[in-house]
Amino acid sequence: MSSTESQLHDSYATYRQFTTQGEHALAQTLSYFVERQRIESNYSDALEKLARRIAADVNVTSIVQGGATKTVAEAWRRVSECTRTLHTEHQALAGVLSGIVDELSKEQASMSRFMLRGREKALKLLRSEVKTTQREYSDLRLSSLPKASRDSAYAGEATIVKQAYYKKSESLEKEPKEAPPGSGGGTSQKYVKLSKEVALADQTYRASINYLEEARNKLHTVRAKALMEGERIERKRILTTKNVLTRYCETESNLCATWVKANADSAGGLDAASSGEQEMDSLRVYVECIKEEVDTSLHRQEFQRAWPEPDHVYYENFKTRLPAKNLIFGVPLETVVKSYPDTGVPLVLARCLEAVEARGLDREGLYRISGKVTETNELRVLLETDANAVNLMDEQHDINAIASLVKQFFRELPQPVFYFPARDRAEYSQIADERERLIRLRARVRALPHPNRMLLKRLIKHLSK
């Protein structure tokens, strides 16, 4: 399996990892402090028992004849007092740790309740959506795209439509256009048949690219939602972790300070306490350096690296073999205008309309007389490959060929700009009142999708000239 295929198939697993790692990290933090609290509680209890035993032993053996106290006994009494002090401090630390555990447990329980109230359901729906859209895109990209349907005229066993289009185009290129001598002259029937098959193959290839682009856009949207949800969980984890570690550092630091005070007269004890205090100071620096924006940014980068944006797959014309980055012919209007939200007019069509208005308004029968097929097709390929590189104001480009491209665009739309079914047109034609007819027509125009209205407006403005 190629790296691209592996990325496509592993994307859902990657997403699950990114939406669960924050929850797992919270559970790991809770697990650490539960164990730390258990150790501290056991240590505190053991210190308490030891302090009581030492105190009892000292009381029995410390008094000698005359009421004097042995110096060794005095030292042991001090050991007993230090042990009780340590017990008190470690008991306090155990209490703070218990509070941290309670806070984390409540946070986890709150998250669970929050999940039960809808977040978990929403997350499951999002995961399902990721899985579905990823599978749909992967199937189109790696398996189905572009495959011809079995009932198409040129389809073989799982024939890739691009290869089918290229194969038919190669056959057409080799086929003589003129009919063989003695057959009446003109264009050969085989050439005409191959031309139709090439047109059909090209149409299917374009449709497949369009289906893939729609799936890619859908996956892009779902992927953005997935990233947003992952960042929400990551922020929650970062803030919770910083809060509990801050409290932990403060408590441990207070304990070390108590050690320093209690062992002020003991060089060894003072060094040990100072060392512990230095460790806590060092830890506090690291905790203070926890930055939500930094970790979230790194999380986003890791997400992008593990699950990169699916790349474009472009239509490639047989003659140029170059990617058509301005593919508009035969593409649904709602898809082609996404790149032009301001004007609602695709770049190629806009250039053609501008050229017609600048060069062809005085040309009689501009849209009635078609341009040469060869020149029109060549210009169509050039415009779809790189519209910015073609100067339609140049006289070398026949204005009738440009006008033919305008007609081709509207003719090849899967759905017309102004959809008006035959039955509705028949009913409309029966309305005698002109005012009523105008009201009905305006209502239909207002009911059009926004891209259709914008393009219809531009077309009417063009035709009015």
Q: What is the domain partition of the chain in residue ranges?
A: 3-149+205-306, 161-197, 315-464
Mean pLDDT of the chain: 77
CATH node for 3-149+205-306: 1.20.1270
- State how far the Cα of 230 lies from the Cα of 336, in Å rounded to an integer: 31
- State how far the Cα of 73 lies from the Cα of 85, in Å rounded to an integer: 18
**139-167 average pLDDT score:** 55
Query: Do 3-149+205-306 and 315-464 have matching folds?
Result: no
Per-residue pLDDT, 246? 85
**92-110 average pLDDT score:** 78
* Predicted model pTM: 0.65
Per-residue pLDDT tens over the stretch 225-255: 888 877 887 887 788 788 888 887 887 777 7
Per-residue pLDDT tens over the stretch 44-55: 888 888 888 877
pLDDT for residue 67 is more than 70: no
**422-441 average pLDDT score:** 82
Q: Which residue is it, tokens 């060089």?
A: 267
pLDDT for residue 191 is more than 50: yes
Chain centroid to Cα 250, Å, comes to 40
Per-residue pLDDT tens over the stretch 266-317: 544 545 556 666 777 888 888 888 888 898 888 888 888 877 787 788 888 8
Identity of the highest mean pLDDT range in 107-121, 292-306, 418-432: 292-306
In the structure encoding, which two tokens stand for residue 195, read together? 């031309």
In the structure encoding, which two tokens stand for residue 119, read together? 């977040």
Where does the pLDDT of residue 149 fall: very low under 50, low under 70, confident under 90, or very high at 90 and above? very low
DSSP string, 414-456: SS-SS---HHHHHHHHT---HHHHHHHHHHHHHTS-HHHHHHH
CATH node for 315-464: 1.10.555.10
Where does the pLDDT of residue 184 fall: very low under 50, low under 70, confident under 90, or very high at 90 and above? low
